């Protein structure tokens, strides 16, 4: 019997796993995954079908400003969701802004995972003074509200950058701010799991065989700590998007020339009660859909990977 190629073999094992069964029998998780897939694909394929690039000032026309949605009186094609005061198509701005929010959220979660997992493994494996120093530093960060850390870091770094680089580096500053306030949760989780695994026989056997500590941590201990980390990362992805939106809404995130969802909400907030409600309402709906879909998937993953609930 011919063996399946490795990718197909892994796919076949996935389809036979308890995780896949749980996913296919959970309508909420399937609906959330479908919604999230549509939102991500629509954001990253937006240049193929939207009427304009909202980041290009040359494509903006003040003569097309303040159009309402197409179903309202005064709406015009192709501005389905209307335009803002600069003639920027709202649908185009939402999709381009969603792409920025998703990328910042994903980058911040990945970097926080790298820092948190590395710190947690070192602290849990070596213990002693190293563990105390790393974890007490993490405790100090946890005692400060996450949004306050992000605001302070974002404001300080932006002031240190030259004015010409502030808009260009706004995304990187946001990622750094979210990472500095988000890695502690991963580190604490991994440290606790590593401290338990460190005393087990397979780790002691590897130590007797003089296996390097780095190999023991990343090859043997890390795979046994991934379940709670995957759940936390999924839930924190939605939280990172919200944090980015909050910072941008406060004016210390993405600039108006490259608006994320939070920036769009801030720009439209001043027109909310002047009749141009669509400038704010539609970006808010997009942000809500994105975060709710991620959170539903995170809740499902937490339950599916919990052996007590199987």
DSSP code per residue over 288-303: HHHHHHHHHHHHHHHH
Model pLDDT, residue 155: 76
Q: Between 233 and 15, whose confidence is greater?
A: 233
Residue 307, burial from CB neighbour count under 10 angstroms (0-12, 13-18, 19+): exposed
- DSSP letter at 218 equals I
- The whole-number average pLDDT for the span 240-260 is 85
Picking from 291, 282, 255, the residue whose alpha carbon sits closest to that of residue 92 is 282
Model pLDDT, residue 4: 47
Torsion of CA 116, 117, 123, 125, to 10 degrees: 180
Q: How confident is the model at residue 116 (pLDDT cuts 50, 70, 90)?
A: very high
List pLDDT tens digits, range 98-115: 999 999 999 999 999 999
Which fold does the domain 101-305 belong to in CATH?
A: MetI-like fold (1.10.3720)
User: Which of 120-129, 223-232, 284-293 holds the top average pLDDT?
Assistant: 284-293
Alpha-carbon 269 to chain mean position: 24
pLDDT averaged over the chain? 84
Note whether 279 and 204 are within 8 A (CB): no
Q: At what angle do helices 278-304 and 261-269 cross, to 10 degrees?
A: 140
- The whole-number average pLDDT for the span 143-158 is 78
Give the other-Cβ count within 10 Å of 176's Cβ. Answer: 18
Model pLDDT, residue 33: 92
List pLDDT tens digits, range 178-224: 888 888 889 998 998 888 888 888 888 888 888 888 888 888 888 88
Model pLDDT, residue 40: 93
Note whether 260 and 218 are within 8 A (CB): no
Helix and strand numbers (H, E) in the chain are: 13, 0
Measure the CA–CA gap between 53 and 47, rounded to whole angstroms: 7
Model pLDDT, residue 287: 93
Measure the CA–CA gap between 281 and 78, rounded to whole angstroms: 19
Helix (H, G, I), strand (E, B) or coil at 79: coil
Measure the CA–CA gap between 310 and 297, rounded to whole angstroms: 17
User: Which of 49-53, 95-99, 130-134, 199-203 holds the top average pLDDT?
Assistant: 95-99
Phi, psi of 211 (to 5 degrees): -70, 135
Per-domain residue ranges of the chain: 101-305
């Amino acid at each position: 019997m011919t063996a399946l190629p490795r990718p197909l073999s892994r796919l076949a094992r996935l389809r036979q796993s308890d995780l896949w069964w749980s996913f296919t029998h959970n309508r909420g998780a399937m609906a959330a995954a479908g919604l999230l897939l549509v939102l991500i694909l629509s954001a990253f394929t937006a240049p193929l079908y939207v009427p304009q690039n909202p980041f290009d000032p040359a494509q903006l026309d003040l003569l097309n400003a303040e159009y309402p949605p197409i179903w309202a009186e005064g709406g015009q094609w192709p501005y389905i969701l209307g335009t803002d005061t600069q003639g920027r198509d709202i649908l185009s701005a939402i999709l381009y802004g969603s792409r920025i929010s998703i990328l910042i959220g994903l980058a911040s979660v990945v970097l926080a995972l790298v820092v948190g997992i590395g710190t947690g493994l070192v602290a849990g494996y070596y213990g002693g003074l190293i563990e105390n120093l790393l974890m007490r530093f993490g405790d100090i960060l946890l005692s400060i509200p996450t949004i306050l850390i992000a605001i302070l870091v974002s404001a300080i770094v932006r002031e240190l950058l030259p004015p010409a680089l502030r808009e260009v580096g706004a995304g990187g500053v946001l990622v750094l701010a979210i990472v500095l306030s988000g890695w502690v949760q991963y580190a604490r989780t991994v440290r606790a799991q590593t401290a338990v695994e460190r005393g087990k026989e397979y780790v002691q056997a590897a130590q007797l065989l003089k296996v390097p500590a780095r190999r023991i941590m990343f090859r043997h201990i890390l795979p046994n700590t991934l379940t709670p980390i995957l759940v936390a990362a999924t839930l924190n992805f939605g939280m990172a998007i919200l944090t980015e939106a909050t910072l941008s809404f406060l004016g210390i995130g993405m600039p108006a020339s490259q608006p994320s969802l939070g920036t769009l909400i801030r720009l439209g907030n001043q027109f909310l009660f002047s009749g141009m409600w669509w400038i704010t309402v539609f970006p808010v709906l997009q942000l809500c859909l994105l975060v709710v879909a991620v959170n539903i998937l995170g809740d499902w993953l937490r339950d599916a990977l919990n052996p007590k609930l199987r």
